[in-house]
């Protein structure tokens, strides 16, 4: 049954099983290609509607559609939802008892299934592959296909074994789906899954209903947690949201603190028991207006449509990670906010982690490039959406009007002189000190430490008196973000003038930086647009 199926029949399935009147965007083209037996690579943002791209063809082709997914925790929900729509669906993963698994296998062999979800490690056992060879299979869908890529934020070694599908079942269509769109990941998917001949379907990655905002730490006086609280109270009171933190400890602290302030919040991280994690996930899905404070362990595949905001209290790992995490907001298409707060310490921190990384040189180079892109996004004075989509190879012709830099354009200033001062302060003190000490030297604060080190006798001592403390932090943060200053591998937080600083110090280069945005955009203005 590789012949084409009339559109009317395809739409009939969509309507009768899911109750939808029409396809969205490229869904129909994808369905057509796969029903016709072709391979496809689908790059679509979260919430774009990837599931239908393999579910509908699975019903239209003879045999069972086999869906590979790493999200064991969600398989049961997906299968239950399909069954409610009358689809004969089942799953195979480590959570099933041997008896239940045998039942599923029997149903598979006797052709009683439309869709079978399987975890990759289960699918790749000789036993399951044998069973599939003896069954009628309609297609293979590899969901979250970016998991094959070591470059990605979500590498799963089992995914690399999926190359075997092309060898064992060369005549069956393979459909790889992901919301990660960068070139390198795409190339890895094609290579590992042998999709050289696949149709490529790329949807726009723009999520126009998400408002992107980044606020400098300290803008809210009382620390990042209270900045977060102000944001929630002003813009999303009583609404569901996800707050990402880097460490388990800050997850715990933030959740506790929010709860103490009367904002219902649950912690979620890999250090909790599976039961605690499941319960947090269940409650988040079912209750209204709950906030989950989490490490990145939370969220892949979370299908809650009315998450109104995603907040980052720490920098994400990369722009891919940021895009995925913020993409969990507003799947229902209603206005939502991606909010982040960050500061000098975060920048120094991520630069230091990179310097300390023991990865091979070529890997470090890629990571450094990714970090530069992330920091450039944070520090940009132009439309954030343009920068973000540009990173994924997409051009947005006009500024979006729905990000902080569009709503509240930051001023830039010629920072050549102060940047030279900060760089010489680092050099004159031997590239051994952190931002606080350098600021003391620049401001002419003759602290005990400054005097003890004789730094009050340096020519740079006090040259920066015309700017306040905050301005120096702002300048140094941007110098670190832009790579004029780097950090030491030992982790002391020392700021070191890099080779890139040479031309700037010699006056061969002018440097424009953004002014510190001290007041966040007014919430009303931000919400209405
Ligand atoms: P993804 O896997 O790309 O994140 P999903 O497949 O979970 O997205 O779909 C996101 C939401 O959009 C779901 O609630 C789904 O039911 C809905 N949806 C997808 N396609 C359509 C369509 N053609 N018409 C109406 N709703 C759709
Ligand atoms: Zn914009």
pLDDT digits (tens, 9 = 90+) for 306-342: 999 999 999 998 898 899 899 999 988 899 999 999 9
Confidence grade of residue 179 (pLDDT, cut at 50, 70, 90): confident
pLDDT reading at 11 higher than 90? yes
49 SS3 class = coil
Confidence grade of residue 524 (pLDDT, cut at 50, 70, 90): very low
- Determine if the pTM surpasses 0.90: no
pLDDT at residue number 362:
80
24 CA closest ligand 1 atom index = 23
Tell me how far apart the alpha carbons of residues 490 and 510 are, in angstroms, rounded to a whole number. Answer: 31
Contact 374, 318 (CB under 8 A): yes
pLDDT at residue number 229:
96
Confidence grade of residue 121 (pLDDT, cut at 50, 70, 90): very high
Cα-based distances in Å from 336 to 213, 243, 326: 11, 14, 10
Cβ(46) to ligand 1 under 6 A? yes
Helices (H), 381-468: 384-391, 404-407, 416-428, 435-443, 448-452
Q: How far is the CA of 45 from the centre of ligand 1 (A)?
A: 11
Tens-digit pLDDT profile for residues 43-75: 998 778 999 999 999 999 999 999 999 888 788
What string of DSSP letters covers 323-378? Answer: HHHHTTS-TTSS-EEEEEEE-HHHHHHHHHHHHH--S-HHHHHHHHHHHHHHHHHH
Tell me how far apart the alpha carbons of residues 330 and 257 are, in angstroms, rounded to a whole number. Answer: 25
Give the mutation target among 18, 51, 144, 324 for probing the ligand 1 site: most ligand atoms within 8 A of CB.
Answer: 51
Q: How far is CA 413 from the centre of its chain?
A: 31
pLDDT at residue number 364:
83
Tens-digit pLDDT profile for residues 183-233: 888 999 999 999 999 999 988 889 999 999 999 887 556 689 999 999 999
Higher local confidence (pLDDT), 6 or 442:
442
Confidence grade of residue 263 (pLDDT, cut at 50, 70, 90): very high
pLDDT at residue number 14:
95
Contact 181, 393 (CB under 8 A): yes
Cβ(303) to ligand 1 under 6 A? yes
Cβ(105) to ligand 1 under 6 A? no
Q: How high is the ipTM of this complex? A: 0.97
Instruction: Point out which residues pair with 142 in neighbouring strands.
Output: 68, 176
Q: Which two tokens stand for residue 366?
A: 């890629």
Nearest ligand to the C-alpha of residue 74? Answer: 1
pLDDT at residue number 519:
45
Q: What percent of the chain stands above pLDDT 70?
A: 95
pLDDT at residue number 521:
42
Tell me how far apart the alpha carbons of residues 207 and 427 are, in angstroms, rounded to a whole number. Answer: 44
Nearest CA to ligand 1 atom 5: 49
Cβ(306) to ligand 1 under 6 A? no
Tens-digit pLDDT profile for residues 380-391: 999 999 999 988
Nearest CA to ligand 1 atom 16: 49
Spatial neighbors of 465 by CB under 8 A, at least 6 apart, are 442, 443, 444
Q: Which residue carries 């074994």 as its tokens? A: 161
Tell me how far apart the alpha carbons of residues 485 and 498 are, in angstroms, rounded to a whole number. Answer: 5
pLDDT reading at 147 higher than 80? yes
Length of the chain: 529
What dihedral do alpha carbons 352, 353, 355, 358 form, nearest 10°? 160
Q: Are strands 115-118 and 265-268 parallel, antiparallel or unpaired?
A: unpaired
What's the burial of 431, exposed, middle or buried (CB within 10 Å: 0-12/13-18/19+)?
middle
Q: What is the biggest distance separating any 2 CA atoms in the chain, rounded to whole angstroms?
A: 87
- Which residues lie near ion ligand 2 (Cβ < 5 Å)? 383, 385, 399-400, 403, 406
265-268 CB contacts, 8 Å cutoff, 24+ apart: 265/290, 265/291, 265/292, 265/293, 266/290, 266/291, 266/292, 266/293, 267/292, 267/293, 267/294, 268/292, 268/293, 268/294, 268/295, 268/297, 268/298
67 SS3 class = strand
What dihedral do alpha carbons 376, 378, 380, 382 form, nearest 10°? 130
Tens-digit pLDDT profile for residues 340-365: 999 888 888 888 888 888 888 888 88
Cβ(20) to ligand 1 under 6 A? yes
């Amino acid at each position: 049954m590789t012949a084409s199926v009339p559109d009317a029949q395809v739409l009939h399935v969509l309507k009768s099983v899911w109750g939808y009147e029409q396809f969205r965007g490229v869904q129909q083209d994808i369905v057509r290609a796969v029903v016709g037996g072709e391979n496809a690579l689908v790059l679509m943002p979260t919430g774009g509607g990837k599931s239908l791209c393999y579910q509908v063809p699975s019903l239209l082709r003879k045999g069972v559609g086999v869906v590979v997914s790493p999200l064991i925790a969600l398989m049961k929900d997906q299968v239950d939802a399909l069954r409610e729509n009358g689809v004969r669906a089942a799953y195979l993963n480590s959570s099933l008892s041997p008896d239940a698994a045998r039942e599923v296998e029997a149903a598979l062999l006797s052709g009683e299934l439309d869709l079978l979800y399987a975890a990759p490690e289960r699918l790749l056992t000789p036993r399951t592959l044998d069973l599939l060879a003896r069954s009628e299979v309609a297609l293979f869908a590899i969901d979250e296909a970016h998991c094959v890529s070591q470059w990605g934020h979500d590498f799963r070694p089992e995914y690399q074994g999926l190359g075997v599908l092309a060898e064992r079942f060369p005549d069956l269509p393979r459909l790889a789906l992901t919301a990660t769109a960068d070139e390198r990941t795409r190339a890895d998917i094609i290579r590992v899954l042998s999709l050289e001949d696949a149709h490529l379907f790329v949807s726009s990655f723009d999520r126009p209903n998400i408002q992107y905002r980044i606020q400098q730490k300290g803008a809210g006086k009382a620390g990042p947690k209270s900045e977060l609280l102000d944001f929630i109270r002003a813009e999303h009171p009583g609404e569901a949201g996800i707050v990402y933190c880097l460490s388990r400890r800050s997850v715990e602290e933030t959740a506790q603190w929010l709860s103490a302030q009367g904002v219902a919040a649950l912690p979620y991280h890999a250090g909790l028991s599976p039961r605690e994690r499941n319960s947090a996930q269940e409650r988040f899905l079912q209750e209204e207006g709950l906030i989950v404070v989490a490490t990145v362990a939370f969220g892949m595949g979370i299908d809650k449509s009315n998450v109104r905001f995603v907040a980052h209290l720490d920098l994400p790992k990369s722009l891919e990670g940021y895009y995925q995490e913020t993409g969990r907001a507003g799947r229902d298409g209603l206005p939502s906010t991606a909010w982040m707060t960050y500061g000098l310490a975060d920048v120094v921190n991520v630069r230091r982690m990179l310097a300390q990384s023991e990865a091979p040189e070529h890997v470090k180079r890629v990571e450094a490039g990714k970090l530069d892109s992330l920091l450039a996004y944070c520090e940009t004075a132009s439309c954030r959406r343009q920068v973000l989509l540009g990173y994924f190879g997409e051009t947005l012709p006009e500024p979006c009007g729905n990000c902080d830099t569009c709503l509240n354009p930051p001023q830039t200033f010629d920072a050549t002189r102060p940047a030279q001062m900060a760089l010489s302060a680092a050099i004159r003190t031997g590239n051994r000190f952190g931002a606080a000490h350098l600021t003391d030297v620049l401001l002419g604060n003759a602290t005990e430490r400054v005097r003890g080190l004789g730094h009050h006798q340096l020519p740079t001592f006090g040259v920066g008196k015309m700017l306040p403390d905050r301005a120096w932090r702002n300048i140094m943060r941007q110098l670190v973000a832009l790579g004029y200053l780097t950090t030491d591998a030992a982790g002391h937080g020392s700021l070191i003038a890099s080779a890139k600083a040479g031309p700037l110090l010699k006056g061969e280069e002018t440097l424009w930086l953004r002014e510190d945005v001290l007041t966040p955009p007014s919430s009303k203005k931000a919400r209405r647009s």
